[in-house]
């Protein structure tokens, strides 16, 4: 999950969902006349930050700061996207927040990142602390996703158990939740957020071939394995996906398309 080039070329699903969310909440965003300071938490390669998010913020913003726990991602984002008002820095949103970042941003965004974090309270608390009074946050994160079931099934097998050791670390804290919206709303209320909106939306995405799935899985694969092992892993991965009836085999000699149906949690709140 550290390979920025690979992620940049295989994040169509994440980009589509970030765009949907930005469009849905565009009217709720309260921008200043000038000088907005914006942070994008878990910016990855930086393409969502500059290609999508930047389109939604007023031109006269003061600072757009992308942050990510991965040094490699931050380096890539700085090399490709940095300019006078846009830059990228290493930050673990569940870790200790540097003093200079506290109460510093009018808006905090985060796309496809919070489901990687086990300590949800620390992450939401830090996001609150990053904001000025009246500051707003907007996030997407995964809830239930069959991908996590595939990981669990393979982790139980003798063949993949050792490669997928500690699999639960990489499963969304909301994968098994019946009412993730309620859990998140309760947590945000406790922290002090107001004007809270949390929805759990059913989404679907069609990959036009198993090869496209392979690249998308590889781009976010949290398990470290050599390439030849990963190729073998993906054969078994796709067999499990087939058993789950998610592969459309009837396709007139074209490669079979693969359906992904998952729950996306969208979160909005004000400090």
Ligand X SMILES: C[S@@+](CC[C@H](N)C(=O)[O-])C[C@H]1O[C@@H](n2cnc3c(N)ncnc32)[C@H](O)[C@@H]1O
Within 8 A by CB and 6+ apart from 201, the residues are 263, 264, 265, 266
Taking the chain, what is the end-to-end CA distance rounded to the nearest angstrom? 31
Structure tokens belonging to residue 107? 């808006």
Whichever of 1 and 246 has its CB closer to ligand X, that residue is 1
Binding of residue 150 to ligand X (CB under 6 A): no
CB 1, min distance to ligand X, A: 6
The stretch among 57-65, 98-106, 108-116, 197-205 that binds ligand X (CB under 6 A) is: 108-116
Q: What angle do CA 192, 133, 60 make, to 5 degrees?
A: 135
Instruction: Please select the residue that binds ligand X; options are 24, 92, 183, 232, rule is CB under 6 A.
Output: 92
Binding of residue 42 to ligand X (CB under 6 A): yes
Instruction: Please select the residue that binds ligand X; options are 93, 139, 247, 265, rule is CB under 6 A.
Output: 93
232-239: long-range contacts (C-beta < 8 A, 24 or more apart)?
Answer: 233/154, 233/160, 233/163, 236/154, 236/157, 236/159, 236/160, 237/150, 237/154, 238/210, 238/213, 238/214
The stretch among 31-39, 89-97, 198-206, 210-218 that binds ligand X (CB under 6 A) is: 89-97
Q: What angle do CA 240, 245, 249 make, to 5 degrees?
A: 100
CB burial class (10 A; 0-12, 13-18, 19+) of residue 80? Answer: middle
Whichever of 91 and 267 has its CB closer to ligand X, that residue is 91
Binding of residue 94 to ligand X (CB under 6 A): yes
Binding of residue 69 to ligand X (CB under 6 A): yes
CB 248, min distance to ligand X, A: 25
Element (H, E) at 41: strand 37-41
Binding of residue 218 to ligand X (CB under 6 A): no
Instruction: Please select the residue that binds ligand X; options are 21, 142, 155, 220, rule is CB under 6 A.
Output: 220
Whichever of 170 and 247 has its CB closer to ligand X, that residue is 170
Which residue's entry shows tokens 């496809």? 112
CA distance 164 to 270: 38
Whichever of 3 and 247 has its CB closer to ligand X, that residue is 3
Under the rule (CB under 6 A), what is the footprint of ligand X?
1, 11, 14, 18, 41-44, 48, 68-70, 73, 91-94, 111-113, 116-117, 220
């Amino acid at each position: 999950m550290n390979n920025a080039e690979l992620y940049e070329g295989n994040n169509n699903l994440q980009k589509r969902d970030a765009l949907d969310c930005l469009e849905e909440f565009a009217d709720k965003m309260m921008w200043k006349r000038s000088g907005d300071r914006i942070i994008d938490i878990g910016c990855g390669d930086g393409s969502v930050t500059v290609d999508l998010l930047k389109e939604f913020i007023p031109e006269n913003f003061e600072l757009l700061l992308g942050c990510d726990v991965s040094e490699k991602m931050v380096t890539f984002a700085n090399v490709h996207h940095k300019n006078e008002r846009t830059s990228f820095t290493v930050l673990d949103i569940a870790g200790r927040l540097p003093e200079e970042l506290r109460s510093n941003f009018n808006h905090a965004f985060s796309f496809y990142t919070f489901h990687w974090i086990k300590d949800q309270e620390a992450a939401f608390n830090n996001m609150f602390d990053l904001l000025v009074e009246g500051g707003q946050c907007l996030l997407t994160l995964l809830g239930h996703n069959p991908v996590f079931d595939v990981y669990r099934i393979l982790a139980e097998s003798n063949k993949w158990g050792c490669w997928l050791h500690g699999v639960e670390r990489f499963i969304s804290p909301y994968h098994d939740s019946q009412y993730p919206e309620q859990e998140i709303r309760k947590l945000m209320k406790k922290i002090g957020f107001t004007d809270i909106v949390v929805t759990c939306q059913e989404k679907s995405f069609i990959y036009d071939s198993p090869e496209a799935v392979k690249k998308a899985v590889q781009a976010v694969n949290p398990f470290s394995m050599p390439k030849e092992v990963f190729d073998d892993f993906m054969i078994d991965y796709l067999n499990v996906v087939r058993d789950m009836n998610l592969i459309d085999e009837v396709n007139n000699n074209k490669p079979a398309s693969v359906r992904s149906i998952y729950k996306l949690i969208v979160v909005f709140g004000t400090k």
